[in-house]
Copies of this chain bind each other. A is one copy, B any other.
Amino acid sequence: MTVHKSEDVFHKVGRRSTTQRRLILEVLKQGNGHLDAEAVHDRVKARDPRVSLATVYRSLTVLEEMGLVARHNLGEEHGHFEPVVGGTHYHFTCRACGAVIEFQAPEAMRAAHRLGALKGIVVTDIRLNLSGYCKKCRNLARKESGRKE
């Protein structure tokens, strides 16, 4: 009778529901949605100082396997995580201020799948990452010709 109590999601996949895991998931949901492991760790520590970074990583992996969290390599840097909520969306990252803007791109999906069909490929994952300058930083785009940071 497929129950849907949030504490139950773990049991459904044969994993234990622990304080840490629930806390981490909660932090991710409340966060702006693009936290890296350390950011998650910081926020988690704020509520329970004894949670280790290792546990954060392990839990993120579990949550990812459960399909509750998605991992992104936004700026080609280290990993960022966000809770899986609504439909698929993609990311734009501002090279100047680091702001992340999400957007939908149905065309991209359609194109990708068309391509797949064309080449006999099964596309299971589409990752579309744009980068550039957001409205605020647009003006700076010209200036930045030298080394950054």
Q: What are the interface flags for A92-133 relative to B under an 8 Å C-beta threshold, 1 for contact and 0 otherwise?
A: 100100000101010110111001100111111111111111
State whether B125 touches A132 (Cβ < 8 A): yes
Taking the full assembly, how many copies of this chain does it contain? 2
A73 interface contact, C-beta 8 A? yes
Size category of the A interface is 35 or more
Query: Cα distance A19–B120 when bound, in Å?
Result: 43
A138 interface contact, C-beta 8 A? yes
- Closest Cβ–Cβ distance, residue A121 to chain B (whole Å): 6
A-B contact pairs, 21 of them (CB 8 A): A73-B76, A76-B127, A92-B121, A101-B119, A105-B111, A105-B112, A108-B108, A108-B111, A112-B128, A116-B132, A120-B135, A120-B138, A121-B132, A121-B134, A121-B138, A122-B132, A122-B141, A123-B130, A124-B141, A125-B130, A128-B128
